Structure formats: C-alpha cells, structure tokens
Structure 1
C-alpha cells in the first residue's frame, strides 16, 4: 500500500477520546515490516481544528518510526493545513513543531491536547495555541508530532529525534494525496523544525540524526530553531533538584523507564517502600505532565525516593549510558542544517553554560549557528521573548534570505516583552 492509497477516515461526531481510550491509536498488524516514515493510518481530527482560526483542516497521521533501542515502533503527528498556504519561489513551507509536552503518559500528547481548549497554569507558561495560529497565518503547513511515541518515553531523545524525522517523512509522502490539500509533490516543500525546552531536545536530536538516519531529507531541509535549549538533561538533576521545578526530574526517569525495561526494573527495585517519598508517590507521576508534577513534587529531593539515594542512580549502568546517549546533545554528530539557538542567560531550569559548551563543540565542526543569549528573563519568559525572533529566522530560511555561512555567530541581545500573569 502506498501513501496515496491510504484512506483518510472521517472522525464521527465531535468526541475527542483520550489516546489510551481511543482504538485509533494502535498500529496495524505487521507494521514492523514497513520502513520508517511509512503512513499506517490517517483520519480527520475529531471535531476539526476549531481552536485555530487560521486552519483549514487537520489530520492525525499514524506512522512507522524507530525507538531509542532501534526497535520498530510508531508515532502520531498532527498535520494542520493553513487557510492560505504561502509559496516562496515555487516552494511551500512545512514546519515541524515539537511541543514541550513533558510527560510519561500518552494521554497528554499534543495530538490530543492541542485540539482541546488551552488549560490554565500558575507558571505563566503560554499554552501555544496562539503560537500555532501565527504559524498558520504565515501560510505554513504545520506538523506537530507526538515524538515520545506510544510508550510516552519522555527523556528518550533518540526516540524523539527519530519520530520527528519520520513525521516529516510521513507528511512528505502524502503530497499529492487526493483527499489531503497538500502540494502535488514533496519536491515543492521546504521544511524546518522548531522546539522550545523539551521540544528543543527532540528538534536538536533530529537535526543530529538526520545526517545518518534520514539523509534524503537534506534536499529540502532548511534549518531548525531551538529555544531554551536543554543541552544536557543530566545537569538538571543538580540545577532543579529541591526547586519548584523538581517534578520534571521524576517525569524524565519515568519516561526513560517506559523506553528501557532494564531501567524500569532496577529503579522500581530501589524505590523506598516507607516514608512520604516512597514508590507509590513516585509512580503517581506516570499520569502527570510538568504542570501537575511541579505542584506535586515542588521542593523535594529526587534522591530521597531511593533507598541508596543518589548512589542508586549512579550505580545503574544503563542509566550511565543514557546520560550520554540520550541526555547529552551533540552525541550523535553535528547537524548539517543551519540552527537558530536562543536562550536566556539567567535560565533557571537549564544552565546557559551547558549550551555555551554545546555551541563550542559544534564550532569544531563548522556548524552554521546563530546563537542569541538574552540578557533578561529566564526560561519561561524566553518562550515569549524569543518567539518573534524564532519566527523571523524561520521565515528567512524558508524564503532563502538567510545567510547560511558556516560557523557559530554568538551575540547577546536584550529582549523583554514578556508580561507575567497577574496573580
């Protein structure tokens, strides 16, 4: 079956079921035999994209991808069609946007959440719906992958990178489909990626892996914007432990446990059975996203959940490998596409020093990077402070006006437009 013969099914009614309760979120039998990027199912989004004023239509696409252990798996991406597609020099723009959905449960993935009304939060974090509408207003086709896969492997960056690249492959393979308003040929697309925070991990890892995993994408791949870049996930266990943001540390371990059975078995065996920070309290995080985990685990010491404390995590050989292979960006090679990296110097969740070192590493390989360090704000405010700069940069790579000369260009900027919510 070719992508052009995969039937687009129409979702009946307006019910949007949680993925764990929705039988559509399953792969067909023998899907493992297909190649990465193969489209396995397509449907219109239940209820259609009523939350986006600039969307003409939206589709869920289930496709074959590859996990962190290089096993066949699948993922879902949401393709949103703009009302007025733009064309630059004969090309349409396709943006793969990786959301920071940060969760070890499939029920909080973007294919469900972005088509629901935005949820309020107490942290001043914009929900992203307005951001999507801005992209669509520019005439960009937007694809938003559930890059953690069916096991919700938060913290497994190789899985995330593969799923991001295969989501782009899947959309490109549908060009010319009679029931989906896409260009007639994949050759008519230029494509780029964008991600902030947790989404920056998936986007950066995809840029690393593209050279070896999806070399054919080089033809139309024009760049990646990486905001609040988490260059070293492992350092979060020092920086954010015992802070209001400690909950992410629990979710990352739970996500890695979903992808690596040996880590799951080991960490469960080391969780305390008594006291307030015990196995039951830790495993409750399996149904949370960052907002919930921030509230539940604020100020706690992650190592107090384990019988041997921090030494238990250090003793796990599989975790030591994960710290390099999954959590240290740059491990799998140097991207060949231009990058726009933006981050607040006083980022309180992920140290600027990690990203400075990351960019120094890429300097050795002459990677083309515009690296902007904002002198004001922190991790949350840079979501807003960096948004317009990222969109402007993406527009420049789509219309070929960006100067793609190699090397790292670093500059400090002062952009302060974020308005914190009024309590």
Structure 2
C-alpha cells in the first residue's frame, strides 16, 4: 500500500464527504415515491440548461478520432449539490456507441494532491440507470437527483485513490442515452475516456500515463468490457494498462434473467437490462410484451436501479410477455442482444485481473438454483464468473486472481472487494508479479451462446 500523506486538497475531500455522508444516507432511505418526481424534475431542469453535453461543432463528429477532446471545463467537485474545494475537469469526447456509430461521451478527472500524473485509475461507477441525467458527471457538476445518489455516494471511494497518488478518471460509461447493461458500449466509452483524459493538458495526464481500471457491479461491466476490447479497439491504451480489478460481474445476461426471475429484491433489474439492450441495438420489444409488460417497460424507461430494487417482487419474464413468447429464446431480437452481451464470447484480456464474486444471494432474496446456472450473489451468477475466469486461464491469461465470498451477497461482497482491489492495483503499479489462482478456481457454468427455442 502507498503511504497516505494528507494534503490540503485531500483534507478538503475528507471534510466535504464527512459533512455530506449523513444527509446522503438519510435521503437514500426515503421512499422513492416521495422523492423521485421532485428529484427527477430538478435534475431535468438543470440538465436542460447544460449545453456542455451537446456536440455543436461545425465539423462532423465522425471526422474526429475516438478519444479526441471536443469540450473542456473545470469546476468544483460537488457532492449532493454542495460544492467542495476539490476541482474536477470534465471532457466531452468522441467515442462510438454499441453499433459502432460516432457519439459523444463525457468523463470527469480529479487530480491527486500528491500525484505526478504518471499513474491514474479509471474508476467505473455503478450508477446503473436508464436516465442519462444520473451519470456521475452530472452529480459532480452539481445536479441532484434520486438516481444520482449512487454517484454521490461513490465519492467516498475516490478518497483512498487520490491519497495514494492516483489521478482518478470517472467516465459516464452508459453513454448519453444511458444504455444500461450494454457492455460493449460501456467498454468503448471507458477506453475513449482514458484516451481523452490523456490528451487534455488540463488533466495532468499524458499519453505515457499508466492506468489501472476498477469497478464494481455496473462498474465491473464497464471495466471488464474495456479490458476485453482494449487489444483490438484501443491498443494504444492497452499498452498502458497495468490491470483491472472488479467485483460482482455480469457475464451472461441470459442466465441472469433466469436467476433473478421471481426474486424479491432484484427482479425489477431484468426489464431494465432488456430496455437498455433494446436502446443500444435499436430493438423494438413492444410486439412481444403483454399489457402488463408494456406498463412496466413504460414506467422503467428512465428509471434508476433505485426505482427497481424491491419494487417488483416475484416478477418473471413470463409475466411480461405474451404467452407465445414465454421462452425468452423464442424472441429473436432478445437472443441476438444477449449473445452480443455475453462476455464468454468476447476476447480474452491481455492484462492481469482481480475478480471478486459473492455467492450468498439468499440474503438478498434470490433463492433460485437452476440447472446450468446455480446460485449467485442475488443478481450476478457466481458460476458464470467462475466459468469466465477459468476460460481465461485455459486461453493463456494465467494472471487471474479470483475471490468468491460464499456468505456475502452482492452488496456485502463490495466491502472486502474495495480494499483488496486497491492493494492489488498498488502492487501492479509497483511492478510486482500478478498472483494467479488458475488451477484453484472451482468449475463454472458453460458460457456458450444461447440458441433459438425449438419449434
């Protein structure tokens, strides 16, 4: 671990976060039905006035290279709308969406009080929302919304990184249309965010800065897809990556849909993921939905995960669709989307990885134990994560450290993951040999692509 040397900026971070920690916890526990309309309208009003997110240049967006900086601004870092003494630089940059079309992304960079720009961590948020106004950049800029509470709370995770000398890059991984769970788009947004941060003189970073990547849950989706896509999509970035640390990973969405179906807390995340995939790949799912499904999809089209957790106990795919589509694999667009999002079919990362996964999902209301899927942490399937880790070992990437926390749920497993991830990243930057659990990882699930339903 790096020695923590408090400086004025770091002290300001701790002070600001300590002041806001209590109201954050209080607000988060309030009833969504009370807060959501007010918070949403406040955020929408603020966002409507913020032209930073819109590319309005005279040149076509396609004429820029991925990672090119389009706009720059520096502001005070906000927590729950309250400005702190900490400065953040935000960049609008050129990237691509899930279908490879030019798009504009946003990222935020916070400089360490003791860093020299030689090392940085790209931290991928788990803001998990279908509303672009809930992205971390919006919270950092001062917007306040119910969905933005997650990004505000994650500010606490920045402190150890900043004090350890890392500049921290925080991309809006879901893009500006908030394509929740669309992993490949998360990955390109993350990689082009690193490119942009390295090209902007205001960030203190440069094209030789070494990067580590970290993220949990939704942040793990972005982190892992970035690691998988980097060799082909961004070899210039891949050469500078020291490794990735993640926990609570979505591997095969088709398995997750079945795993959380009928659960008491996580069931509402399934339609959110289908909406996100549909948005990313221009799929119209309405012909397959029954009246209740149409109602749920309409209600969730701009929802945060906060609006879904515990709100749809017992919800299943069967309850959302017309009788002839009760088997998800009978819906061709669904099959196409989930196979594109299956990490088991993606490339093998060429850098070391630390992957952590909980397996105590019964504590978060997910009791299912289906053949070929098994148990998980409540939302993510442990057997899928093991299968992916073993696949990497078999394909020659032996630098995989894997932790499975048998008695911890999705939320609970984040607690031991965070400090372990920081220590693991510290060692990679220090040049220490990456540990390997290859040969000791228990058997996992098959990650073969889904096939159409018979008949």
TM-score of the alignment, normalized to the shorter chain, above 0.5: yes
Q: 1:285 & 1:386 partners in 2: Cα distance?
A: 30
Q: 1:299 to 1:407 in 2, by over 3 A?
A: closer
Conserved 8 A contact 2:79-2:152: no
| Offset of residue 399 of structure 1 | 1.9
Of 145, 170, 173, the residue aligned with 1:144 is 170
Q: 1:309 to 1:164 in 2, by over 3 A?
A: farther
Conserved 8 A contact 2:390-2:441: no
| Offset of residue 407 of structure 1 | 7.2
Q: Which position in structure 1 is the counterpart of 2:407? A: 376
Q: Which position in structure 1 is the counterpart of 2:429? A: 398
Q: 1:53 & 1:400 partners in 2: Cα distance?
A: 37
Conserved 8 A contact 1:341-1:371: yes
| Offset of residue 316 of structure 1 | 2.9
Q: Which position in structure 2 is the counterpart of 1:252? A: 273
Q: 1:165 & 1:290 partners in 2: Cα distance?
A: 24
| Residues 1:225 and 2:245 aligned together | yes
Q: Which position in structure 1 is the counterpart of 2:55? A: 27
Q: Which position in structure 2 is the counterpart of 1:292? A: 307
| Offset of residue 309 of structure 1 | 6.3
Q: 2:77 & 2:140 partners in 1: Cα distance?
A: 11
Conserved 8 A contact 1:366-1:407: no
Of 84, 102, 111, the residue aligned with 1:72 is 102
| Residues 1:353 and 2:374 aligned together | no
Superposed CA deviations along residues 231-260 of structure 1, whole A, max 9, x for unmatched, are: 222211111112111111111111112212
| Offset of residue 315 of structure 1 | 2.9
Task: Between 346-355 and 50-59, report the one with greater CA deviation.
Answer: 50-59
| Offset of residue 126 of structure 1 | 9.8
Q: 1:193 & 1:201 partners in 2: Cα distance?
A: 11
Conserved 8 A contact 1:234-1:323: yes
Conserved 8 A contact 1:342-1:386: yes
| Residues 1:172 and 2:217 aligned together | no
Q: 2:56 & 2:83 partners in 1: Cα distance?
A: 34
Task: Between 299-308 and 214-223, report the one with greater CA deviation.
Answer: 299-308
Q: 2:440 & 2:157 partners in 1: Cα distance?
A: 26
Q: Which position in structure 1 is the counterpart of 2:255? A: 235
Q: Which position in structure 2 is the counterpart of 1:11? A: none
What RMSD over aligned residues (CA atoms) do the two structures have, in Å?
Answer: 2.9
| Offset of residue 127 of structure 1 | 2.8
| Offset of residue 103 of structure 1 | 1.4
| Offset of residue 141 of structure 1 | 0.7
| Residues 1:363 and 2:396 aligned together | no
Query: Mind listing any 5+ residue stretches in structure 2 that lack a counterpart?
Result: 1-41, 361-376, 443-455
Secondary structure of 1:335's counterpart equals coil
Conserved 8 A contact 1:55-1:136: no
Q: 2:94 & 2:259 partners in 1: Cα distance?
A: 36
Conserved 8 A contact 1:68-1:159: yes
Task: Between 295-304 and 97-106, report the one with greater CA deviation.
Answer: 295-304
Map 1:73-88 to 2 at 5 A.
Answer: 73-85=103-115
Q: 1:126 & 1:240 partners in 2: Cα distance?
A: 27
Q: 1:278 & 1:320 partners in 2: Cα distance?
A: 18
| Offset of residue 279 of structure 1 | 1.4
| Residues 1:319 and 2:334 aligned together | yes
Map 1:32-43 to 2 at 5 A.
Answer: 32-43=62-73
Q: Which position in structure 2 is the counterpart of 1:101? A: 127
Conserved 8 A contact 1:371-1:409: no
Q: 2:179 & 2:220 partners in 1: Cα distance?
A: 15
| Residues 1:162 and 2:180 aligned together | no
Q: Which position in structure 1 is the counterpart of 2:350? A: 336
| Offset of residue 310 of structure 1 | 4.6
Conserved 8 A contact 1:370-1:409: no
Under a length normalisation based on structure 1, what TM-score does the superposition of the two structures give?
Answer: 0.82
Task: Between 207-216 and 100-109, report the one with greater CA deviation.
Answer: 100-109
Superposed CA deviations along residues 43-67 of structure 1, whole A, max 9, x for unmatched, are: 123x534679997410211111111
1 or 2, which has the higher helix percentage?
2
Q: Which position in structure 2 is the counterpart of 1:269? A: 287
Q: Which position in structure 2 is the counterpart of 1:48? A: 77
Conserved 8 A contact 1:57-1:82: no
Q: 1:148 & 1:120 partners in 2: Cα distance?
A: 17
Conserved 8 A contact 1:340-1:370: yes
Q: 1:377 & 1:405 partners in 2: Cα distance?
A: 23
Secondary structure of 1:131's counterpart equals helix
Conserved 8 A contact 1:239-1:349: yes
